[in-house]
A and B are shown apart, each in its own frame.
Chain A
């Protein structure tokens, strides 16, 4: 026992690079951001270190509150649609025979390896006025005039769904995979209808997966400004776009920092709610 203790102490140096790096380049910058959010902006990229709450007060202005509301709305819409599409998919996937499960997993993870911008560009080609979608719809006689979906709200939602759906599917799948189907069978044997068995047993037991999928889609969807940029044509301003704008063009860093702090707090609250509800320590489906 004593020997082991010595050994573990002598191995402690190995974590040193990790902690120096993480503390210097992750923890310190985060603390700096919080400090920055209470500083006074001055001309150019400069900052005056005078304590103020103005940056937070600024967020309460209708324009910016509206931006937050818009982002939350988009995040909620995307998350709900993604859950509705992704849940059945993950559920069906967990019920596939073993060899097909592997194939489905492979098919699901391959697009990750393609640059997300490239995949979004594919959607531009499909959704544009003279694009594939309009062509197909007109050929089928469903519409007479081409729809202008690109550079509109639905296009942004489509982009969000496209980029984030795999996360939802993977988390639902990983909890549905662990599900003991005999519970469902027992419920059925005891006279529950299919729907009853689903809502009382299956849904309840796969809830951790669904919830972690919700977080894994909701959190990034607040910040994926480039999707709104590319597919929405700058029509919808999100918190992410606002932060980027304030950092680069607007050059009001303290305000950008305050926006980021609020966003971080929102994110953290969500993750804490998730932990409370599911009692889980880590999110399902990552790693």
Chain B
């Protein structure tokens, strides 16, 4: 294997720097005293204090968390069962089924969002948590499905067969043997899905209710109308939270290897 030149190192360093620069800027200005994110006038925690008293913002945060957890749970069940089932059936139509199940990743988000909005309207579903939950589950399922599928591919089917031969029922064999073995993939896929749900703007904008707002939507409207450093403070907190999730995630995937 050939070694990279010095230029390569410099180039990669520069790109990484540019990738992290905006994140660093947001964090730094969350501790700024002045309202305008132009000059750093002094260290202050006042934006964090204001954030704590901002009812609407906290409500949006709670909505997002509920939505993230729910869509992650629902899609974990659907995705895991689907992946296990898919690995066992040998029908001719299997390929098509598999393709359809990851379709949401191939369609531009905006189309998925508008299509769901029109469809929910036709079904007369009330726009709100339920429509958000369905919308988020649609794009969360493929992530979990793909993670679990990859894990199953590396698993020995003889393990479950042995359990079956020893007299365990199909449910028991799944619960006691297969599920524990694929659990790391289920968890890491769910975390990824949770992060995606917490990040989604496009689909949420189409399917959210008139009175219900998620955090990304709140941030989006603020960015369009006018920003206070409260946003920076919130971003920093979210960043800390995602960092924790991320550390958990990498610990789990490390164990998997």
Over the window 79-110 of chain A, the binary record of Cβ atoms lying under 8 Å from chain B Cβ atoms (1 yes, 0 no) is 00000010011001101100000001011101
Which residues in A have their C-beta under 8 angstroms from that of B242? 113-115
CB nearest to B249 among chain A residues: A113
Q: Interface residue tally of chain A, by bracket?
A: 35 or more
Q: State whether B109 touches A117 (Cβ < 8 A).
A: no
Distance A167 CA – B141 CA, assembled complex (angstroms) = 20
For residue B65, give the distance in angstroms from its CB to the closest CB of chain A. Answer: 14
Which residues in A have their C-beta under 8 angstroms from that of B22? 119-123, 125-126, 162
Which residues in A have their C-beta under 8 angstroms from that of B2? 95, 181, 184
Interface of A toward B, CB cutoff 8 Å: 7-19, 21-23, 25-30, 32-33, 36, 45, 85, 88-89, 92-93, 95-96, 104, 106-108, 110-126, 128, 130-132, 162, 165-166, 181, 184, 219-220, 222-226, 229-230, 240, 243-244, 247, 253, 256-257, 260, 263-264, 267, 271, 286-287
Distance A193 CA – B59 CA, assembled complex (angstroms) = 63
Q: State whether B108 touches A222 (Cβ < 8 A).
A: yes
12 new A-B contacts, CB < 8 A, other than A8-B89, A25-B137, A240-B110, are A17-B78, A18-B86, A21-B137, A25-B134, A29-B119, A33-B114, A89-B15, A115-B199, A119-B23, A124-B227, A162-B19, A229-B224
CB-based A-B contact count at 8 angstroms: 242
Residue B121 lies at the interface, judged by CB distance under 8 Å to chain A: yes
How many residues of B are counted as interface, with CB atoms below 8 angstroms from the partner's CB atoms? 87
Q: State whether B4 touches A92 (Cβ < 8 A).
A: yes
Q: State whether A118 touches B26 (Cβ < 8 A).
A: yes
Residue B166 lies at the interface, judged by CB distance under 8 Å to chain A: no
Q: State whether A271 touches B106 (Cβ < 8 A).
A: yes
Which residues in B have their C-beta under 8 angstroms from that of A8? 88-90
Q: State whether A107 touches B85 (Cβ < 8 A).
A: no
For residue A215, give the distance in angstroms from its CB to the closest CB of chain B. Answer: 10
Over the window 7-22 of chain B, the binary record of Cβ atoms lying under 8 Å from chain A Cβ atoms (1 yes, 0 no) is 0100110011011111
User: What are 5 A-to-B residue pairs whose CB atoms are below 8 Å?
Assistant: A17-B81, A117-B223, A130-B39, A243-B110, A267-B106
Q: State whether A29 touches B245 (Cβ < 8 A).
A: no
Distance A136 CA – B145 CA, assembled complex (angstroms) = 46
Residue B185 lies at the interface, judged by CB distance under 8 Å to chain A: no
Distance A203 CA – B26 CA, assembled complex (angstroms) = 38
Distance A30 CA – B107 CA, assembled complex (angstroms) = 10
Over the window 64-100 of chain B, the binary record of Cβ atoms lying under 8 Å from chain A Cβ atoms (1 yes, 0 no) is 0000000000000111011011101110000001001
**Given A17-B81, A113-B195, A244:B26 Cβ within 8 A:** no
Distance A219 CA – B23 CA, assembled complex (angstroms) = 25
Which residues in A have their C-beta under 8 angstroms from that of B134? 25
Distance A224 CA – B11 CA, assembled complex (angstroms) = 27
Residue B138 lies at the interface, judged by CB distance under 8 Å to chain A: yes
Q: State whether B115 touches A33 (Cβ < 8 A).
A: yes
Which residues in A have their C-beta under 8 angstroms from that of B216? 115, 117
Which residues in B have their C-beta under 8 angstroms from that of A271? 106
Closest 6 interchain pairs by CB? A122-B22, A18-B82, A14-B85, A15-B85, A223-B108, A223-B110
CB nearest to B243 among chain A residues: A113
Residue B252 lies at the interface, judged by CB distance under 8 Å to chain A: no
Q: State whether B8 touches A95 (Cβ < 8 A).
A: yes
**Given A113-B246, A260-B114, A13:B85 Cβ within 8 A:** yes
Q: State whether B20 touches A243 (Cβ < 8 A).
A: no
Which of B22, B90, B103 counts the most A-chain CB atoms under 10 A from its CB?
Answer: B22
Residue B198 lies at the interface, judged by CB distance under 8 Å to chain A: yes
